[in-house]
Amino acid sequence: MPVYGAFTILVNESDQGRRLDAVVAAHLPGCSRSLAVNLITNLQILVDHQAKKPGYRVKCGDKILGRIPDPAQVEYKPEPIPLQIIYQDSHIVVLNKQAGMVVHPAPGHSRGTVVNALLYHCPDLEGIGGKIRPGIVHRLDKDTSGTMVVAKNAAALENLAKQFKTRSVQKIYLALVYGELCTDEGIITLPIGRHPVHRKRMSTVSRKGRSAETAWRVRKRLPGITLLELTLKTGRTHQIRVHCSAMDHPIVGDQVYRSRKWLKDTAGSYSGESSSLFTALKSIPRQMLHAWRLGLIHPHSGERMIFKSPIPEDMAELMEKLEGRGQRAQGKGHRAQGAGHKA
């Protein structure tokens, strides 16, 4: 989080020749490069009282003057939205987030979010940042279900944020992916960054990829589809979805990183039922990804706690359907073999 208010940076020899936006971001705690660019463009950061572009190369002795304005306060309204609360006390609340629910209000999603629901269900929320609001420490994608923790006060928020930053929080997911993996476990260490062409997607071939590590192991094998348990060592945007796609085993139902080839091949593995199965798999409304297990240190008591969310109904039903069809196809194969032997 950036430090708000006025600031002055005196450029020394070590910053000589660097871009203005890079120098500002480097010297101000919590100030991102994009925030620096925005402030420079809007004339809220000047060099020797003169406007400069973000790419201006600073000189030794330049005086950078500016102010990071206080964040605009947004009023979030409580809404009586059903929540599956796993655990709560006066410091934290742990949820089993349902798929299709956005975590935090944003443009296009001002209502119906986890935050709106928490404001209704948790009347004991304390002030965070001068407002009565829950502290969102981490997020799950809209269409990812499962376990997430929320801070109820500023002290808990700071403690949990540190745990996530130091990667001491255990994050284990379950996912249904296309294909049959040839080994039972492995580790993916491909870096992740913005896609070079599709800016709303992430990619392992980004020019500015950040290190990312995902450990996986097979929990169940179905014809053409595998249930994986995945442990996040880092927390990059769309990390599991991107890594699974990079392994050529995209997550079933993923509309962004999916592969139509896998969809057809999987449906074809179920013999005469391929057409109906293709339709069923194609109509899945969300990626089959679930935040199953979350382990952390309680921010007040210091106790190690582990929270789990059961596998959601849509994933369980799909597994049951696939397993049943696979067994029927296997039965037909046995009968055909028996008939041939008898002849």
Whole-angstrom distance, CA of residue 107 vs CA of residue 95: 23
- Tell me, what amino acid is at 300? H
**Cβ contact 210:237 at 8 Å:** no
Structure tokens, 267:
């449906």
Q: Reply yes or no on whether 62 is catalytic.
A: no
What is the full DSSP assignment across 10-61? E--GGGTT-BHHHHHHHHSTT--HHHHHHHHHTTSEEETTB---TT-B--TT
Q: Can you list the pairs that 13-17 forms with residues at least 24 positions away whose Cβ atoms lie under 8 Å?
A: 13/60, 15/58, 15/60, 16/58, 16/59, 16/60, 17/57, 17/58, 17/59
Residues 6+ apart with CB under 8 A from 37: 21, 54
Given the residues 141, 184, 248, 254, the one annotated as active site: 141
Whole-angstrom distance, CA of residue 124 vs CA of residue 118: 10
**Cβ contact 36:26 at 8 Å:** no
- SS3 category, 316: helix
C-alpha angle with apex 305: 299 to 306, nearest 5 degrees?
135
Element spanning 342, H or E: helix 313-342
C-alpha angle with apex 263: 261 to 267, nearest 5 degrees?
120
Whole-angstrom distance, CA of residue 98 vs CA of residue 84: 8
Whole-angstrom distance, CA of residue 139 vs CA of residue 101: 11
**61: burial class by Cβ within 10 Å (0-12, 13-18, 19+)?**
exposed
Q: Which residues are catalytic?
A: 141
